[in-house]
Structure 1
Amino acid sequence: MFKPLELFIGQRYTHSQRRNRFISFISFASMLGIILGVMVLITIMSVMNGLEKELRARILGVVAHVTVSGTDGKLEGWSEIYESLAQANHVIGVAPYIEKQVMLTNDSKLRGVQVQGIDPAYQEQVTDPVLELLEGQYSDLTPRGYGIILGVGLAQSLQVYPGDKVTLVVPQVQVTPAGILPRVRRFTVLGLYTSGVPEFDNMSAFVHIDDAARLFKLGEAVSGIRLRLDDLFAARLLAQQLQQALGDAYSVKDWSHEHAGFFRAVRMEKLAMSIILFMVITVALFNLWASLAMGVNEKEADIAILRTLGMEPKKITRVFMVQGLIIGTVGTVLGVVFGVLLSLNIEVIIVFLENTFGFKVFPADLFYISEVPSELHWKDVCLVAIAAFIAAIIATRSPARRAAAIQPAESLRYE
């Protein structure tokens, strides 16, 4: 089978490196570095993708996809727009809510809490299965019943259980015969919930919306209306449409706006880790450059003879480009294969290592998740492979051009 002369000589030079153990070792080290760099980079990017997806699912399980509120912090006449919101595209649940910052105490411990007034009749429409009631039901919350459902972390910090009493302190004063005092109300713990998001479990509680309105003196007003969608990625467009339809008297925000900083930080971490890990590939490519540079010195007489026989400088360049690209291509392909396999099986591998050595990668008490998630994006795989291949071309280019610049007369003078 016919082969271009440059390809034939380049392959021969690649195999002949085995005679020079030092150059062969550097070439092997550069290929191994490319394999490891590509493999680890694909795996880390997949883990970061899985982490972002898992965090998004957990956080959006306890917050609204879209919220509609008044520009002054409260929404009057919410029932007038309820039907129009319920009929909007992608909306599968609508519920009014009241949300305020308060203090909660069991007489010996005091905690800052975000209390949410909910209507049990609507709450199921906007609640994700990720928010699990461990004890009690939303229907246990009744008007003037002054019951409260606590996050499991909050209940543990206050050392209270269902049936116990807690005191809710509103940071608003009221004038009484005894003087100016904060507004307080005793509540009975009716249930516990967990969302898998420690910050939410440790700082939030639910009460009936009528009790919240009475406590905060809101009358018929609420803080806003929560919307749950069948497609959370439609939230931004829907929020824009609702804002335009409702006018400036209302404030419409979607989850990507309210939690933009958090998800931006996750993406920045992914980018930073990708850049750091790409340095591993860069070091491997430096080894590739060094092995080719030494190979050019070793083959200087051969290059001079080829030039004397009439081979053009650009073909000499291609000979060493072939040699470098063989190493770069093999390293990239093997790195992609191992990286994809590792990404698809990382959860099983981590569980095996945790059981074998008795440690946890993500302790449940410190992180939102307790398992290592992974989601392979083929665009990430292609991006890493293309970047590694282009970097290999760049690393190969300099020694190859140097080989083409060798003068035959100077090189053969002492041969």
Structure 2
Amino acid sequence: MILSAYERIIARRYLLPGKGEAFIFLVASISLLAVTLGVAALIIVMSVMNGFRAELFDKIVGINGHAVIQGYNGELANWRPILEATRKTPGVTSAIPLIEQPLMATHAGRVEGVLLRGMALNDVNNNNLIRSNIREGHLNELKAGSNNVIIGIRLAEQLGIHAGDDISLISPAGQTTPFGTVPRIVSYRVAAIFEVGVYDYDKAFVIMPLSDAQTLLMMNDTVGIIEIKTNNADRVGQILDPLKDRVANVGVLQDWRNMNASLFQALSVERVVMFWILALIILVAAFNILSSLIMLVRAKNRDIAILRTMGASRIAMLKIFMAVGLAIGSLGTLAGVILAFVILYFRQPLVNAIQYFSGQNLWDPSIRIITELPARVDLIEVIGIIALSIGSSFLFTLYPAWKAASTDPVEVLRYE
């Protein structure tokens, strides 16, 4: 919308408070503030939801892969040919054998439930999520037969363990006696403590070399799981279809969608609902623009009539009042985008500050799953929010602008 010089002057004049127009200016300012807060809230919430889903997915996949082949009764018989066939499947980028077994762990009189994970040393060292998040100790001390393990940081906090301390694992698979099975209690040295950022993993995982796990659980040369990663998480079902018949007799093939279906479905539904709820804030702000423009048109009836008698066209009046409404909407949108990016950039310090002053734990990782507040900005989504805001402002300026353009100067000046 191109304005002539005099149209720009008049539009700028109407944006600023005039004598006796303080209330109209106040309503317009509230409209601008409402647009700012609505746009900022929508961008922040959608970015946090995107970040939460992406962070959770990256870390779940980083630990559990895109799919797993899990043996019946926790043991995968004749697993080597299956592993080889999996690695040769088109689209599969990695397949590693694992052992996962829930056990009990003790240290200094404290007891916690843990999830023992046995992994080949190469697979541990190649796992970037573990390797890049060692908080204490040294990963290179984890060696087969060294009696060393690595554990999650939350488990270390619960048991009061530091790198170099001992942890005892209690396995129900023990020696059989006339009085029943005696659980095995084996002591290990904690070589390193890691933090992957998912509370349930950091609180439960005890990782040791695969051969040591087989010895502890008396599994001989068997494993429990083959973890699979593919080159496309969304097509994991199609990629692994050729393996279903091969593993049907020995185990179950599950992908990340089956294992975490309820969680990701809930996140998806919540994301859509939050978008539409917060979009209502922008629509309410647009209604405020509508009301402020209607009041402005009523207050400027005489000015409009004089301008019309001086030769201003109906189109000029339409453009002037549309420009005023769009200016309020556009300035509010721009301020909202800037505010959103500032808050997102300083999101964790802000959460920490609010927690400090309020004394409340706003981001409890035991409830929120993720250790820190995540965010991931989607540029397409931001553009959509900007379009929604400016588009709503444009639509709500049409009626008052049309009323201003429809003003009959003869009728107005007759009674003035």
**TM-score, normalised via structure 2 length:** 0.75
- Residue in structure 1 matched with residue 241 of structure 2 by the alignment: 243
Cα distance, 1:79 vs. partner? 0.6
- Residue in structure 2 matched with residue 176 of structure 1 by the alignment: 177
Structure 2 CA distance for aligned equivalents of residues 323 and 45 of structure 1:
29
SS in 2 for 1:81: helix
- Conserved? CA contact 1:27–1:327, under 8 Å: yes
SS in 2 for 1:18: coil
The 10-residue stretch of structure 1 (133-142 or 360-369) with the greater mean CA deviation from structure 2? 360-369
Structure 2 CA distance for aligned equivalents of residues 82 and 133 of structure 1:
32
SS in 2 for 1:226: strand
- Conserved? CA contact 1:240–1:252, under 8 Å: no
Q: Are 1:118 and 2:116 counterparts?
A: no
User: What is the percent sequence identity of the aligned residues?
Assistant: 27
- Residue in structure 2 matched with residue 200 of structure 1 by the alignment: 201
Structure 2 CA distance for aligned equivalents of residues 216 and 370 of structure 1:
31
CA shift in 2, pair 1:120/1:8, >3 Å: closer
CA shift in 2, pair 1:347/1:324, >3 Å: closer
SS in 1 for 2:346: helix
- Conserved? CA contact 2:66–2:236, under 8 Å: no
Between Structure 1 and Structure 2, how many residues are aligned? 406
- Conserved? CA contact 1:95–1:123, under 8 Å: no
Name structure 1 gaps, 5 residues minimum.
none
Q: Are 1:328 and 2:329 counterparts?
A: yes
- Residue in structure 1 matched with residue 137 of structure 2 by the alignment: 135
1:267-346 to structure 2, matched below 5 A, reads: 271=272, 274-275=275-276, 277-300=278-301, 320-336=321-337, 338-339=338-339, 342=342, 345-346=345-346
Q: Are 1:191 and 2:191 counterparts?
A: yes
Structure 2 CA distance for aligned equivalents of residues 25 and 165 of structure 1:
66
CA offset digits 1:154-208 (Å, max 9, x no partner): 23423456453514143x7986311x34643323234232123332122121244
Cα distance, 1:409 vs. partner? 7.9
CA offset digits 1:69-109 (Å, max 9, x no partner): 34665422111032333345565543211112222334833
1:211-250 to structure 2, matched below 5 A, reads: 211-213=212-214, 216=217, 218-228=219-229, 234-247=232-245, 249=248
Cα distance, 1:259 vs. partner? 3.4
Structure 2 CA distance for aligned equivalents of residues 189 and 342 of structure 1:
45
CA offset digits 1:226-271 (Å, max 9, x no partner): 2345x5xx13324431233442615433445433444455555555
Structure 2 letter corresponding to 1:193: I
CA shift in 2, pair 1:136/1:11, >3 Å: closer
Cα distance, 1:385 vs. partner? 0.7
- Conserved? CA contact 2:171–2:216, under 8 Å: no
- Conserved? CA contact 1:149–1:191, under 8 Å: yes
Structure 2 letter corresponding to 1:117: G
Cα distance, 1:6 vs. partner? 11
CA shift in 2, pair 1:48/1:18, >3 Å: farther
Name structure 2 gaps, 5 residues minimum.
none
Structure 2 CA distance for aligned equivalents of residues 16 and 149 of structure 1:
66
- Conserved? CA contact 2:3–2:319, under 8 Å: no
Structure 2 letter corresponding to 1:244: P
CA shift in 2, pair 1:127/1:223, >3 Å: farther
1:1-400 to structure 2, matched below 5 A, reads: 11=11, 14-15=14-15, 18-19=18-19, 20-70=21-71, 73-88=74-89, 91=92, 93-106=94-107, 108-126=109-127, 128=129, 129-132=131-134, 134-135=136-137, 137=139, 140=142, 142=144, 148-160=149-161, 162=164, 164=166, 166-170=168-172, 176-178=177-179, 180-181=180-181, 183-197=183-197, 198-213=199-214, 216=217, 218-228=219-229, 234-247=232-245, 249=248, 251-266=252-267, 271=272, 274-275=275-276, 277-300=278-301, 320-336=321-337, 338-339=338-339, 342=342, 345-346=345-346, 374-400=375-401
